Chains A and B, each alone.
Chain A
Amino acid sequence: AQSVSQHNHHVILSEAASLELGCNYSYGGTVNLFWYVQYPGQHLQLLLKYFSGDPLVKGIKGFEAEFIKSKFSFNLRKPSVQWSDTAEYFCAVSRSGNTPLVFGKGTRLSVIA
C-alpha cells in the first residue's frame, strides 16, 4: 500500500531560522505531490504541488519543495521562518490517474521569537 512518511513529528525553530521538513513516499510509479498547511483550528490549505516539470516547486508564503525521484522524497523548505508559520504541515501523495491523496501524519512547526 502506498504510504507517506514525515520524519519530524514536532520542530521548534527561532524566527529567521531556515526550515526543512522531510517527506518520503513508498509508491514507485508516477506520482503527484503536495504540501498542505493547517493553522491552529483551521482547515488544510494548499502550499504547493508538483505534477511534472521542474522538480523545484515554489509555493505561497515563501515555501518551496524539491522532488527527488531517486530518493522518493519531496522535502519542504523555507529560508527564513516567521512566527506566523506556526502550524501543522502535511505532505500528501496521489498516484497519477484517479486516486485520492494519501497524507503523512504531519509535522507540527512551532516558531518562537
Chain B
Amino acid sequence: DARVTQTPRHKVTEMGQEVTMRCQPILGHNTVFWYRQTMMQGLELLAYFRNRAPLDDSGMPKDRFSAEMPDATLATLKIQPSEPRDSAVYFCASGLSPPTEAFFGQGTRLTVV
C-alpha cells in the first residue's frame, strides 16, 4: 500500500530551536508539496518541487524556512529558528506531473513553546 511517510509525527520544541521535518514521497511520484494547516489560515502551500527542483516557495517565510529534496526519496522542511507562531500541522503530499491528485502524508504536528 503506497503512502507518503512523514517523520516525526509530533514535535514539541522550544522557541529558537531548529526543527527538521522529513517526507518520503510515494515511489515514482515526481512532484512533492509542503502544506501548513492552521485553524486560522487553513491549508497553505509552502513549497513544491518537481523532479527535485523547487518550482514555487513563495508561500514560505524565507528568513527561517527552507525546503530541499536531497534525493527523489526524501524531502525536508527546516525551520531555523522556530517561533511559537510556527505551531501547526505540516503536511507533505506527492503526486505525478502532469498533475493528478495529491496524496497526503499523516502530517507532523509541531508545537513551539
Contact = CB atoms under 8 A, between A and B. Distances in A.
Contacts, number: 52
Interface residues of A, number: 23
A103 B45 CA distance: 9
Contacts of A94: 99
A42 interface: yes
B98 A97 contact: yes
B75 to A, nearest CB: 14
Given A49-B101, A98-B97, A101-B102, A43 B43 contact: no
Name the residue among A32, A43, A94, A96 with the largest chain B CB count within 10 angstroms: A43
B42 A104 contact: yes
B97 A43 contact: no
A99 B91 contact: no
Classify the interface of chain B: helix, strand, loop or mixed.
Answer: strand
A32 B42 contact: no
B99 A106 contact: no
A44 B56 contact: no
B90 to A, nearest CB: 11
A43 B43 CA distance: 12
A43 B107 contact: yes
Contacts of A104: 42
A98 B50 contact: yes
B69 to A, nearest CB: 15
Interface of A: 32, 34, 36, 42-46, 49, 90, 92, 94, 96-106
Given A43-B91, A43-B106, A49-B100, 10 more contacts: A44-B104, A94-B99, A98-B50, A98-B55, A100-B31, A100-B56, A101-B101, A102-B45, A103-B35, A105-B41
Ranked 10 nearest A-B pairs via Cβ: A105-B42, A103-B43, A44-B104, A43-B104, A43-B106, A100-B48, A46-B101, A49-B101, A101-B102, A100-B33
6 contacts: A42-B106, A43-B105, A43-B107, A44-B93, A46-B101, A98-B99
